């Protein structure tokens, strides 16, 4: 399946700093999903975005879907050590989720 591209691959921040990961597609997306995987854990569903220009918030996390539905972003305000993990975006291709390779976030206290 066609993948989505995520940048950056890694991000190391000090606790309290903000963090953003970007997800890009060469084709229009019907929807985009975001997952978090803690070290040694399994992916956990965070949210799904469907509408063009959609913005959703979950506490310190803000998710956006681009106007053209070809890109998405996840922004974390004032990171905490509990935010450590890998964040994946995934496109719904109909019968599968095709995952980006993820952005690994390391937060130093």
Partner 1 sequence: EAQVTQNPRYLITVTGKKLTVTCSQNMNHEYMSWYRQDPGLGLRQIYYSMNVEVTDKGDVPEGYKVSRKEKRNFPLILESPSPNQTSLYFCASSPAVQGVGYGYTFGSGTRLTVV
- Interface positions with partner 1 (CB under 8 A): 1, 3, 30-31, 33, 35, 41-48, 50, 88, 92, 94-102
Of residues 62 and 98, the one with the C-beta less far from partner 1:
98
Which CB atom, from 94 or from 109, has the smaller least distance to partner 1?
94
Provide the strand spans (E) within the chain: 5-7, 10-14, 19-24, 32-37, 43-49, 55-58, 61-65, 71-76, 85-92, 97-99, 103-108
User: What six digits make up the tokens of 62?
Assistant: 């803000």
CB of 99 to partner 1, least distance (A): 4
Cβ at position 42, least distance to partner 1 in Å: 4
């Amino acid at each position: 399946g066609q993948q989505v591209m995520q940048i950056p691959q890694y991000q190391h921040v000090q606790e309290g700093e903000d963090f953003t990961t970007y997800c890009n597609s060469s084709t229009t997306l019907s929807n985009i999903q975001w997952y978090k995987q803690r070290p040694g854990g399994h992916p956990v569903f965070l949210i799904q975005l469907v509408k063009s220009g959609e913005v959703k918030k979950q506490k310190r996390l803000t998710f956006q879907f681009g106007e053209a539905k070809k890109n998405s972003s996840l922004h974390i305000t004032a990171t905490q050590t509990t935010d450590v993990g890998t964040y994946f975006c995934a496109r719904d291709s109909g019968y599968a989720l095709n995952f980006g390779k993820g952005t690994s976030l390391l937060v130093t206290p």
